[in-house]
Every structure is written in C-alpha cells, then in structure tokens.
Amino acid sequence: MGKRKKQAKVLRIFRKVHRTTGALLFIFFFFISISGLILGWKKNSNGYILPKTQKGTTADLKKWLPVDSLHTIAINTIQNELMDRTFEVDRIDIRKEKGSVKFIFVNSFYEVQLDGSNGNVLSIGKRRSDFLENVHDGSIVDDYLGTDGYIKLVYTTVMGVSLFIFTVTGFWLWYGPKRMRKASKA
C-alpha cells in the first residue's frame, strides 16, 4: 500500500472516530459547554449566578464572634427565611479580608453571609453557580441516585478522554490533508 493510501486510510479512521464520538456524546458536550460558559461569568453576573461577597466591619479576627455563634446565627437566619426546610451547613467560607463569613448549605444552593465581628446578616442568597457546577461535572446525577461520586468519576473520565480524542483526531483532520497535499507536490 502506498504512502498516500495509508495517509488517506488513517484520515478516514480518524474522521469516523471523530464523528462517532461527537454523535454519541453530543448532549453531554452541550451541557458542559453551556454550563461552563455560564460559570465563567458567575462573578460578573451582578449577583444572579453567585451572590457578591459582602463587606463586614473588620478584618481583625480577634474582634470576630466565635464560629459557633456565627453558625447559630446563620442557621436561625436561613430557617426563618425559608421555613419549609431544615438546613445543614456544607462549608464555611471565611473572607477575612472582607470581614465576612459565608455559610453554604447542603443541597439547597443557598448561602448566608454574616459580618464576622457582630453577626449581622449581610445577605441571604441563592447560589445558582453550585447547581451549574453539579450539572457541569455530572455530580447532579450522583446526588439524585445517591451513588457516592461514582457516576461523576465515570462521567469526567469519559468526557476527559473524549475531549482528548477530539483534540487528536481534530488536529489530524486539519493537518493530515495539508500533509498529503504537500507530499503529492513533492
């Protein structure tokens, strides 16, 4: 088999792999691209996607209330605001330089921001970005099915490998014909 025929055969194989992978994973790439695009804008959404971090009165931690007191204020605040549920804190995000602390709640996509020094409520906000992150990385399916992260692991592996395949085959689909034309002129 001649060199040109080998190159053409490789191109056909790469085109088929590229097309088949794209067709099989189209919907997943659609969700990843849209959610990734929106997540890229989260801090520039005027607080719609991710609430803006509010400023407290002091960055001096010695003047702050104890974390357990701030925790109690945050729980009471969110339960008074949204009375139909119970809330559990997922994580606490201390923004020392801003003088504020964020309490982010499990499975609710809400946060409460408090002034670290006096416990005043600075904001109660919906964290749409957390939902979008769960869509983006596939953990929304894990949460729904209770599979403890296994679906996310498989999903991110398949999507990462397929993105690699797209990169390699896409490059070859661009470069291969150039190489063939160059070889035929020689």
pLDDT score of 173:
84
Q: Where are the domains of the chain?
A: 1-43+149-186, 51-126
pLDDT band, very low/low/confident/very high, at 9 (cuts 50, 70, 90): confident
| Residue 74 · residue 94 · CB < 8 Å | no
Outline where DSSP puts E strands in the chain.
89-95, 100-105, 110-115, 121-126
pLDDT at residue 186 is higher than 70 = no
pTM of the model: 0.77
Q: Report pLDDT digits (tens) over 143-172.
A: 889 898 999 999 999 999 999 988 988 888
Higher pLDDT, 182 or 97: 97
Nearest to 126 by CA among 109, 113, 102: 109
